[in-house]
Structure formats: C-alpha cells, structure tokens
Structure 1
C-alpha cells in the first residue's frame, strides 16, 4: 500500500531541541533522545468514513513530533497501518450495500488526499492489515505454541497473564479495563475465556465474511491488536521511540499490543513512550463514526476552506487536551492565517531569529502549540505596527512556520 507525497520541509539555521513529551505509561514527561534515526509507529484509520477532525488532530500531533525530530537533524522512520478489514468496515459495507474492499480503497484514497492537503508528512511504510496477514500468522502460531495463546471454538485468544507487564501502559483498574473492552470491540462476557480481558488474535472464518489461509490456525482473519504488532516489529523492532494514537487507543489497543509484543520477544517495553492525542467533540459529544457527529476535512476543503486554516485550527489546542470544534475555532484560524500571510508578504520586518528559538522551545515542551502560535502572533503584530529593516525576516518566518508547524504561508 502506498502513502501520500511528502511536502518539502525547509531547513532552518541552528538546531532544534530534544522533545520532552508526556508518556501515558509513566504518567509524566520523558525526554526523547533517539539515535540518528528516530522510530515512531502511529495507528492508522479503519477506512469506512475518513477523515474527520478527530483523525486530523491525532495525525497533526504526530506530524509535529516528526518535525521536531527533523529540526534536530535526525532522520525519522515512521510507520502507520490501515485496518482495512475489521467488523466496523464490514458492517458499513453491508449497510450501504457496497463491496467492503471498494469501500476501504475509496476511504483510504480520500484519507491520502486529506493528509496531502494538510501537509502531514507521510510514513515510510504504510501497511494494510490484509497485506500484513502473511506476517501475522506466524506470530499467532508462536504465541500459541509458547502457551501464551489458546483456542476457543476455533478462535485463538491471547492470554494477558502471559505478560508480567500487562496493565503498565494504561495503569487502569481491572474494572475499567473490562468496561472499555466491552465498549471497544472486545468480548469480556464470552464463556470459556481464561480471563475476560483476553483479546482475540485470530478469528476463525465466519460465513459470509472474508477469511484467509491461516496455516495451522485454520481459515480466518487477524484480531485488531496483533495487526499493529506484526507491522511494528517487522519495520521498527522492539524499543522504538514513540507509539502514538488517540487517547481512545490507550486501552485496549495499545495495552494489548504491548503485551503481545513483549510476550513474543521477552523484551520490555515495546515503546519508549506511549503518546496520546485528546479527543475532539462537536455539540458537546466526542466526534465518532458511531454517533455520526463528524466534521470532515474533505467537506471543508470542498467548501473552499484553506487547508492551512484547518491546520491552524488544530494547532490552537494542546494535542493532549480534549476540545470542541466550533465555527468560531475555524473563523479564528482563518483570521490568524490572514494576519500571518499579510505580515510575511512585506519585503522586510523585525528580526525573526528569536522567534525561531521561541518556536523550538514551545514545541520541545510537550508540543505546546498555543504558545508557538502566540509567538508568531506577536511577531506579526510587531510587523504590522512598526515594521522593521531585516529583509531576511519575512522569509525566515515563512520557513520556520512551514518547517515546525506545517503551515504554508
């Protein structure tokens, strides 16, 4: 599966700072100091309704992580999956009377278009669950053969008791885990499971549903969590720098994925930091496909909204915070974009060297984008009020905003 084209990231004078970021597993900030190549895995979409503002906010956060790393003169190895076979996708295809493969391809193509328009840096490896199946099957077999998985009526389940570190990503109580498992695709009430929290690794073939040859597992399809584990281990290995996604993936997805990987390899942890973006609401409720309260990037683009303004709207909130999308949020972003573009369109202006360092400091501080935007606002206001004599300043501001915030002026 191919990703989307990369926009050029301008080089800035000097060097950026190492990123200090909130780690869900420890509950505090960690300083990430990767080697020459920083490694990041971000969980991708289930392509049955893409791309809403919640998606955009999540991928914007991890785009910023990459930009901070690039500014430190590191390379970035970024991997993202696409869950192109799963119950919600199949249910939507049945509801709409269309082929599930065609639905997945259509929505994935739209997602690529949205990511390109928003200037999100693409992953080096963009892998669909279906194409990952040949690598998933041997991992499930290894877990089963090691006693870390078991069969139940043809389905294969992972035993969470096989990982002594289970629970150390979310640090949730067993009661909360059970509630979230039932809410987010698990089956804690199924009779015969060793532990109600045990997640499915391989679902035996069901009539009328797609299935693949699972070798000794029999025909079927993979569970949700093992998909990301197989892709991450194949392309990044254990101990990569950041596992990212929305906060709704903390449990069960990231918790289970970590346990799968740790049981497979005997190593801990799967990732050095677990980083999660907040949820975006509309009319007081979290945006979600099940509720249907979605604001789509593609719809805004069709309505003529500049993608740079959409990105500024996202940047006006801290990535970890839950926030609400409103018309005013977008209007404020459009006005800010206009002010910034007017400021950099002049032939000279106030020196911007200090602004570049302010942006670097704000972003290295747990991706503090509101502070970064306020710094550019101050420069633009000074430019409007007083101007300046530095003929390199407008160009430097444009390059810095592009390189570090992903906004083309």
Structure 2
C-alpha cells in the first residue's frame, strides 16, 4: 500500500503537524514494513505565495518568513525509510498524488479548499482528512479567531471535507461535533501515538524537584494568540509580584509574532530564561531539568507539547479545553483550570508543594495511550480507506 502524507508547509518549518507526520510515518513503517510512505510538501517557490494569502487571512499578523527551524539532515535521519518530496506547483502536486493508494492530509482550510475546489478530488486516490487544526476555538478574543469559527462551521467548509472518504478526529469534542454532520462510518477517532516508555527507565536519573528551593516552570510553543501569550505574560508578572520571584525560574521556548511580549518580560524580570525556537531534538534536554509544565493555549486539537512533557513525568497545568482534557485527567497527571485566577492559584500551590510524582505520571499516561493499539487503528484506517478490509 502506497501512502502520501500531504501538508502544504515544509517539514523544516517545524510545528506539531510536521512532528506528527514524521513520527507517525516512522511508527507505521516500523510496524508495517510493506507500506510505502511519502511525505509531500510544497517547495519554497510555491510556499511564498501561499503564505502571502495566509498573511491576508490573519490580517498580516502571521509570520511569512521561510526560515527553516528544523535541520533537514535531522529530518532525513529520522525518516530514512520514508520518501520526502517537494512540489513546486498545484499541477505537480496532482500528478504526484495520483501515484498513491491513499492520501492523508490535514483539515487545514487551505488544504481542504485546494483538494475540493481546485483539484476537485479529480483522478485522486481516496482522501483522509486528519483534524490537526481545531475546527472550533472555544476562547475567542480577536476578529481572526471569530472568523475561523465562522468559516470552519460554514457549508462551504463542511461540503469540502465531505469529499474525504474518512475523517480522522483526534479528540472527543471533534468526534461529537462532526458526528452531528457525518455518519459513524465516515468518522474515526484515534489519538496521537507516543512512546512514553523511552524515559521510564531513566526516571531516577532526572534531577529532583525544586533543587536549591527553586521550582523550574517550562512553557514551550509558538508565540501566537492561540497559545495564550497574554495569559503567560500575566502569569509571570502576577506570580513574580507575589513574593515568589526567588522561588521560581521560568523557562520559555518558542518563536512567533508575539515574541516582543516575551522580550519585554525578560527585560523586566531576571528569573526568566528565554531560549527562542528550540529544535525538536533539543526539547528533551529542557524537560528533564524542570519541575512543572504549563500550557496557556486557548484552543488545541491534541497538543504535542503536553505529550512531550508527560513523557518526562511532568505535571501539566492547562485550561480545561478540548485537546488538553483528552490528555490530562485532573489530579492524576496534571491540573485543568477554568479561568485565569484558578490558573495562577494552581501554579502558586505547586510552587509551594508539588504533590505529583514523575513515576506515577509516566505510568498513568503510558497506560492511557497504548501506542501499539493506536498504530494498529491507524493501519486499519488506511486499509479501510483504500478498501482492502
């Protein structure tokens, strides 16, 4: 079976979707060697026009730079048995996709509209739309986020994704939401696979919590509205002002259009370590040194950064939104909060007394997300879509 995983952005740009495509393709190939898998993106010449369009959609706020954040050599080493192809035009994309038995892509607005209204699904293999972009933003604060909710609930969008043979949903909210529009046969919910066992034997080597009486709190992600940068900045300001400044160190990693807000924080407080963008291969070095991970995201599908933090046994404090609550079980492997004041209160509580234990968190998530079962479901989804089951 020949599988194409198509995402308009190059893998070198980084991000959760790129990480998912790489890890899932590797995991499937390892377990099912008969699969022929290719990762397909647009090249830089095509991307510059796509990003221009996206910049207009985001009212000029989205980063249009073509800077590669991940090293291509690292990506190639990770996917030695996977083909990585770049195409320079829509016509070349069509001719390339026609070579495969099934195409897996995301529910991103551009990719959905491209396949439906430009390529018209004509002469293409069956399509699986994977819902890696939240279709609904629960906490909207800007015109763009409200526009997103309007478009993703529109008949134009729903009609477009109806052209996919299968819809791969990754959280309970989306499963319930799209179950109202499509048959049970069309939709399937499968969480992200993740190998939590990698760190299970190393747990005793991790640094103990709160060394020298200082708790290290990590935040990793894109510096955008979605990730709640305003709330992150306010948390740092508020908690540092409560007299806990000397008991906490903030580790912030990421890049994006709201970077100036973080730089202002760094200038104001000397207990913040801002690392800029950190490549995927280096994230583990950060997480093994910290005591607590926080996610201030306003909307998510199935956040990779929380999975990564949990793989190091870190408790996570996050808003009680879909995606986050699919991973976190309150008081078991983290804390879900309903508003900013509760967020601040829980962090203060955990700075003073962290009652979580890394070993218990690791075992909990490992049991909750059995990667072998998840990969088997993914393989069955691909076979069902092709029609070989």
- TM normalised by structure 2 equals 0.31
- TM normalised by structure 1 equals 0.30
Q: Which has the higher contact order (CA 8 A, sep 6+)?
A: 1
Structure of larger gyration radius: 1
